[in-house]
Amino acid sequence: MVVNLPFEPVVVSNEEREKDIDESIKLISELEELAKVHPKKGAVRKFTNSIDGTSIPVNSWKFNEWDYSSKKLTLPTYARGLFTIDNRIVCRGYDKFYNVNEFNEVSEEVLSKSTTGPYTLTVKSNGCIVFISGLKDGTLVVCSKHSTGVRDDVQKNHAMAAQQALELQLDRCHMTKLDLAETLYKLGLTAVAEYCDDNFEEHVLEYKDDRAGLYLHGLNFNSPKFRTYPMEEVNSFGSVFGFKRTKFRRFDTFREAMIFLSKAAATGSFEGEEVEGFVVRCYKTGTHNDFFFKFKFEEPYLLYRELREVTKQFIQGGPQNVHFGKHKLICMDYLKYIMPFLHDNEKLRQSYLDNKGIVELRKKYFDARGQTGLEVIDEEVSMAKLEDEMRLLKFGSSQTCKYAIVTVATIGCGKTTTSLALANLYPDLVGHIQNDNISRPVGSKLVSGALEILVNKPMVILDKNNHKYVERQKIFDDFAQLNEIIPSSKLKFICLNFLPMPPKGDTELWKVTRDRIIERGDNHQSIKAGGSGIGKAEKIMQGFINRFQPVKPRKEPDSKFDLIINLNAKSDNSTFENIKTVVESLVSFASDLDIPRPTEEQYQEAFRKALDYKPSINKIVHSRVGPRTPVYFGTSILDPQSLQERIEDLVGGSSELYEKLKATGRIMSEFHVTMIHYKSKKKSQEIKALWNRYVKSEFAEDLLKIDEQSSKITGQRILLPSKSKADIKLEKFCCNSKVACIKVSVDRIYRADGTDISLGLGNKFPHITIGTINEEIRPAESNNLLNEIYEFNATDGIQCLDFKDSEENSLKGLPIFAHY
Ligand code: IDP
């Protein structure tokens, strides 16, 4: 039964109706043609599913997000959300619209001329969009942006969740699905609503209890051309079927509308409620064509997103894992407040990571401060003192720099004594790795060992003569090669230059160092001036002096040092003074570490202890019991070239970021999928158990074998000796302005004999990182991007392209490795 409506519906003339039918037929056949071509520019993706409770197939048509704004293309339709059955449009979304100033065509200046009023400003609700319409037989159709009906390939079914909410709502106002379906069918309309319910999915604003539900914001004609009802009618239609109202304001001129919007942006609210922004409905100048644009408020939503991210980082990796952004001080203040709530509450932590309770925790904080988000932003500068407090708690300490301190000297200059004294003075800050303690062949072990130390301490001294350019060069090269963790801008190199003047022929220096070596006797790992006599030691010492190449700050490799500290090794107790010189330089250079100045007594104590040091000969750098655990397990994409071809076939020049990565050589040189990372243990008990299964059972023997082969390898991947394999499928190319990655599915993990290994993945969105825009952005950013896409349906500034489900995109038999 068609329900009586409290307004006079627009009467569509027969002529118009026929025109719509003709145009629909034309549009759908164009879409069918486009769907056949390779998914490149301007291509459309057709997705077919059945309407819930029926076997009626419905097609959804989806263009690449960025094609809507391409100047080079004209798409057959700009409808975002379009569903058809045979030759008929059953659901039609709005024509794609943009944020003010997103690009030139929607700049304020252009819009002021290209649009005419009245301007209807509707509150932008913050949930997921839903299209509702009816079929001739009275079937109700409920679609999300691009999907309808039951599906087994999605984690969350927005259409089905919205349908349930709609059914409850209709019940409450004594209407039936049939009433709504028949009314919409008769009028040839799609009802466009926003489904907002924190119990289903949290977005930025809070929607719970009374506020949760379907907010009706549009009634669109099911015609190829975009035509939509005025807001008054939308709201009266909504009230008949129990929808929530969409608040609106109307202005005659563009200027008035913009003044209102700017004022609203200053409070981030409308009629006392926080809103994300407004959708402005108006007309194209010189026509009666409906035209939309939006005005989204920046703040406090940027802050809210940052609060969400730092909370997740904190839960997953503790204070050190937190990376602050624009609102560093507020985030610190907020974390300080919420830490006690998270502490000891595994359930809260877990549900937060599942995107539940985000708004509530944030509200708790703002309520405690008695301020709104915008008010707190206004006061942010006054929180400056928090920085010191949080630094003591090691907050965001991974953001401070790491310092590799490289000695340049000959034998007896006091390198080890100076290093030991510094490590004595600052046990938490300074680590020390001695070349003489590393078993041969030394290779890159000095640097890999130093990197291991830098995981826990901000400074490490690489104690070696480094008397030639090639040796210094090798240190820089090894760091470049092996460092995967520290952003290069955060890794600083400091040179302890014990010999600012060439040592050859310097009798004073010779006397001091020779005397020290005689005095040291056999107390050295390799140079024994005791038993084997001074003669041999002298020869070795002379060799170093003869080969010595002084530090040249303006020339490579020495020009790579960020700081060169000149020392003096030419007097009996020079080392004591050198230690003080080094400390003074470090205090001012490494100001991010807040290095305290020792007292005279502390200096003396540290020096005395260093002089007393006796090496334990052939000690290895790190001795441990049992096999070491890897940093993560992954599977290697064996043919990076062919993966790049797959990407290029799909993307075909349409991705600005991908082109940039190519031009700047920032495509990863190898590709892999991380299966589980040790850090994800913190996410939940299940993942912790899974990690233990990777480490302790299935692959335990492999790890033992790897360890026996190479007990000191770090920063490297080693294939599991049992030759286990994985099959993966490329699903979606995703990128924003920072990172490009491919979402994959890992379909099978199996042994060399083909039997299945039943291990899950520790990563919610398994992926291959393709590249990041610069070194500051770590590959782990892919996780954040995929989380935004899959958990929050984010689309702004994001490009997503689906790989075809084909043999070519299934990669089989990929080897599994452990990364140390
Ligand atoms: P190197 O690492 O540059 O070869 P070290 O092992 O530090 O030099 O020093 C060589 C020997 O000289 C050690 O036995 C050390 O105790 C001693 N020594 C280093 N600096 C001083 C100093 O300033 N006064 C007295 N003895 C020193």
Residue 814 has phi, psi (to 5 degrees) of -80, 135
Residue with the bigger pLDDT between 650 and 155: it is 650
Q: Does the Cβ of 411 fall within 6 Å of ligand 1? A: yes
Report pLDDT digits (tens) over 212-241: 999 999 999 999 999 999 999 999 999 999
pLDDT band with cut points at 50, 70 and 90 for residue 745: very high
Residue holding tokens 């797959």? Answer: 646
Q: Does the Cβ of 697 fall within 6 Å of ligand 1? A: no
Domain with CATH 3.30.470.30 in the chain: 14-106+126-245
Is 145 in contact with 128 (CB distance < 8 Å)? yes
| Burial group, residue 753, by CB count within 10 angstroms (0-12, 13-18, 19+) | exposed
The residue length of the chain stands at: 820
Nearest residue to 181 via CA among 140, 218, 144, 220: 140
pLDDT band with cut points at 50, 70 and 90 for residue 625: very low
- Please compute the mean of the pLDDT values over residues 176-180 and round it to a whole number: 95
Pocket test for ligand 1, best of 418, 467, 516 (most atoms within 8 A of CB): 516
State in Å: Cα 569 to ligand 1 middle: 10
pLDDT band with cut points at 50, 70 and 90 for residue 386: confident
Q: Which atom of ligand 1 is nearest to the CA of 410?
A: 3
Nearest CA to ligand 1 atom 25: 573
Which alpha helices (DSSP H) does 634-756 contain, by range? 640-651, 656-663, 685-692, 700-709
- Please compute the mean of the pLDDT values over residues 280-286 and round it to a whole number: 96
Domain with CATH 3.90.1740 in the chain: 632-819
Q: Does the Cβ of 409 fall within 6 Å of ligand 1? A: yes
- The per-residue pLDDT for 258 is 96
- Please compute the mean of the pLDDT values over residues 358-365 and round it to a whole number: 93
Bond before 300 cis per omega within 30 degrees? yes
Give the tokens for residue 218: 């549009």
Determine what percent of the chain is predicted with pLDDT higher than 70.
93
Task: Write the single-letter amino acid at 118.
Answer: P
State in Å: Cα 469 to ligand 1 middle: 24
Report pLDDT digits (tens) over 65-99: 777 877 778 899 999 999 999 999 999 999 999 99
**Helical axes 346-353 vs 358-369, angle rounded to 10°:** 110
Report pLDDT digits (tens) over 580-596: 999 999 998 898 888 99
How far is it, in rounded angstroms, from Cα 10 to Cα 789?
Answer: 38
Residue with the bigger pLDDT between 151 and 606: it is 606
According to DSSP, residue 375 is labeled: H
Q: Does the Cβ of 516 fall within 6 Å of ligand 1? A: yes
Annotated active-site residue 660? The verdict is no
Residue holding tokens 């204070």? Answer: 319
Nearest CA to ligand 1 atom 11: 516
Q: Does the Cβ of 464 fall within 6 Å of ligand 1? A: no
Report pLDDT digits (tens) over 489-532: 788 999 999 999 999 999 999 999 999 988 877 667 666 666 55
How far is it, in rounded angstroms, from Cα 280 to Cα 256?
Answer: 12
Is 785 in contact with 736 (CB distance < 8 Å)? yes
Residue holding tokens 């039951």? Answer: 150
Q: Is the pLDDT of residue 397 over 70?
A: no
Task: Write the single-letter amino acid at 814.
Answer: L
**Helical axes 301-317 vs 346-353, angle rounded to 10°:** 130
Give the tokens for residue 733: 């190319």
The domain 14-106+126-245 having CATH identifier 3.30.470.30: the answer here is yes
- Please compute the mean of the pLDDT values over residues 330-346 and round it to a whole number: 91
Q: Is the pLDDT of residue 453 over 70?
A: yes
For the chain, the distance separating the N- and C-terminal CA atoms, rounded to the nearest angstrom, is: 68
How far is it, in rounded angstroms, from Cα 758 to Cα 693?
Answer: 10
CA separation (Å) from 112 to 197, 289, 474?
Answer: 36, 16, 61
Q: Is the pLDDT of residue 488 over 80?
A: no
State in Å: Cα 601 to ligand 1 middle: 20
Q: Residues 448, 452, 458, 460: is their CA dihedral positive or negative?
A: negative
State in Å: Cα 598 to ligand 1 middle: 21
What percent helix, strand, coil does the chain show, rounded to 5?
Answer: 40, 20, 35
Report pLDDT digits (tens) over 555-578: 889 999 999 999 999 888 899 999
Report pLDDT digits (tens) over 20-61: 999 999 999 999 988 887 555 567 888 888 888 888 899 999
Helix (H, G, I), strand (E, B), or coil: what is residue 433? strand
**Active-site choice (62, 124, 294, 445):** 124
According to DSSP, residue 148 is labeled: B
Q: Which atom of ligand 1 is nearest to the CA of 411?
A: 4
Q: Does the Cβ of 154 fall within 6 Å of ligand 1? A: no
- The per-residue pLDDT for 623 is 32
pLDDT band with cut points at 50, 70 and 90 for residue 710: low
Q: Which atom of ligand 1 is nearest to the CA of 407?
A: 3
Residue with the bigger pLDDT between 606 and 652: it is 606
Report pLDDT digits (tens) over 302-318: 899 889 989 998 898 78
CB neighbour burial string for 677-703, b if at least 16 within 10 angstroms, e if fewer: bbbbbbbbeebeebbebbbeebbeebb
Is 310 in contact with 323 (CB distance < 8 Å)? yes
pLDDT band with cut points at 50, 70 and 90 for residue 806: confident
CATH T-level topology, domain 632-819? 2',3'-cyclic nucleotide 3'-phosphodiesterase fold (3.90.1740)
How far is it, in rounded angstroms, from Cα 700 to Cα 548?
Answer: 47
How far is it, in rounded angstroms, from Cα 773 to Cα 323?
Answer: 18
Nearest CA to ligand 1 atom 22: 573
Helix (H, G, I), strand (E, B), or coil: what is residue 396? coil
Q: Does the Cβ of 509 fall within 6 Å of ligand 1? A: no
- The per-residue pLDDT for 214 is 96
- Please compute the mean of the pLDDT values over residues 342-352 and round it to a whole number: 90
State in Å: Cα 568 to ligand 1 middle: 13
- The per-residue pLDDT for 525 is 65
Nearest CA to ligand 1 atom 12: 516
**Helical axes 158-172 vs 177-187, angle rounded to 10°:** 110
Determine what percent of the chain is predicted with pLDDT higher than 90.
51
State in Å: Cα 572 to ligand 1 middle: 9
Give the tokens for residue 89: 């449009």
- Please compute the mean of the pLDDT values over residues 681-694 and round it to a whole number: 84
Domain with CATH 3.40.50.300 in the chain: 402-611
Q: Does the Cβ of 575 fall within 6 Å of ligand 1? A: yes
| Burial group, residue 122, by CB count within 10 angstroms (0-12, 13-18, 19+) | buried
The domain 402-611 having CATH identifier 3.40.50.300: the answer here is yes
Give the tokens for residue 129: 């969009």
User: In the Cβ-directed half-sphere of 198, how many Cα atoms lie within 13 Å?
Assistant: 16
Query: Rg of the Cα trace of the chain?
Result: 33
- The per-residue pLDDT for 444 is 83
CB neighbour burial string for 168-183, b if at least 16 within 10 angstroms, e if fewer: ebbeeeebebebbbbb
Q: Does the Cβ of 432 fall within 6 Å of ligand 1? A: no
- The per-residue pLDDT for 522 is 67
Report pLDDT digits (tens) over 130-147: 999 999 999 999 998 777
pLDDT band with cut points at 50, 70 and 90 for residue 624: very low
- Please compute the mean of the pLDDT values over residues 264-269 and round it to a whole number: 87
User: Do β-strands 402-408 and 459-463 pair in parallel, antiparallel, or remain unpaired?
Assistant: parallel
Q: What is the DSSP string of 713-736?
A: --S-EEE-TT--EEEEEEEEEEE-
User: Do β-strands 810-819 and 739-750 pair in parallel, antiparallel, or remain unpaired?
Assistant: unpaired
CA separation (Å) from 672 to 160, 636, 807?
Answer: 35, 4, 19
Provide the greatest CA pair distance for the chain: 113
State in Å: Cα 532 to ligand 1 middle: 20
Q: Is the pLDDT of residue 293 over 80?
A: yes
Residue holding tokens 């539940």? Answer: 356
How far is it, in rounded angstroms, from Cα 261 to Cα 255?
Answer: 10
* Mean pLDDT computed over every residue of the chain: 88
Entry pTM: 0.57
Is 572 in contact with 512 (CB distance < 8 Å)? yes
Q: Which atom of ligand 1 is nearest to the CA of 571?
A: 23
State in Å: Cα 638 to ligand 1 middle: 51
Q: Does the Cβ of 402 fall within 6 Å of ligand 1? A: no
How far is it, in rounded angstroms, from Cα 579 to Cα 121?
Answer: 68
Q: Which residues pair with 219 in a beta bridge?
A: 191
How far is it, in rounded angstroms, from Cα 477 to Cα 499?
Answer: 23
- Of 413-427, 438-452, 769-783, where does mean pLDDT reach its minimum? 438-452
Bond before 721 cis per omega within 30 degrees? no
Q: What is the DSSP string of 498-557?
A: S-SS--TT-HHHHHHHHHHHHHHTT-SSS--SSTT-HHHHHHHHHHHHHH-----TTSTT
Q: Does the Cβ of 416 fall within 6 Å of ligand 1? A: yes
